[in-house]
Structure 1
Amino acid sequence: MNNTIPQSQITAFRHAIDALIRAFKVSEGVQHPDLSKPLSQTDVQALLYVVAHPLCIGADLGQHLGMVPTTVSAIVDRLVRSGLLARSRTETNRRIVQLQPTAAGLRIAEQVIAGQEADCRLMLEALSDSERQHFISMFGKIALAMARQEPEP
């Protein structure tokens, strides 16, 4: 692989990522009438992970988010106080605390996903079918490479 990347390509890619961040409104919290205050993007990512992995444990969530246990615990505490997650202990080992979304958590996650998918649809509509397939493949490759670069919590 050629490791010499022209600065112009790096700049163009950075601008494209900035545009995607603005389109996805990544810097904004998720607001919902059921919530007293907006969810941070980290809270949203945690909620979406638990929705996708019900009965997971905090260590699984921490590994996914790339965060230390104390930070994960604070995120889970906020989501539990907001009524979006519930904690439960297993019958076989009472020390294990599992996480699961509440009905409100599921509703908000569904709305977040619907919004994200609408944004993706708008972006992908700008491409032909073959371009979309190539773009999704390349974006997946980049995401995988970036995941490998993340430091362990």
Structure 2
Amino acid sequence: MTKSSKLKSSPSAAVRANLDYPVIDTDVHTNDFTPALEDYIAHYGGVKLVDELRKAESSRLNPKSEDKDWYQQTPEERQYNRTLRSPWWARVTRNTLDLATYTLPALLYERQGEQGSDYSVLFPNNALAAAGASKENRQLLQRAINHYHADIYRKYSDRL
């Protein structure tokens, strides 16, 4: 937490203030700034690899069976097809400050104390995107995604 930070009081921060040991949050999901991520991917594999990411993300976040997504299927169809439901909780939108916090590394670092933690283990929401890519592009796509995250969080690696 930076000294210039104007942290809001939160129940989590109040609990943390009474502890004499560090708190480690082991499941902090982060969002990506898509244009920057796509620049990294293009650097590693050009426009074709960016298209591969978009296709993989689309199929992962909007799984369909017989051209019907989870919401269009009956409960019986969902069960039969084992259709995954899109993660509606993955993108906070009501509170734009929270959305920005999990998208901008400096803001996450600054607000870490507000959530009551000293250290955080990050899990990028797109970490599994490469699993949906073709076999020949999967490793290259994952490498680009990993390097993107390593580069944008490196400055904050003492706590994130």
Q: TM-score, normalised by structure 1?
A: 0.26
Q: TM-score, normalised by structure 2?
A: 0.25
The structure with higher relative contact order (CA 8 Å, sep 6+) is 2
More helix by share: 1
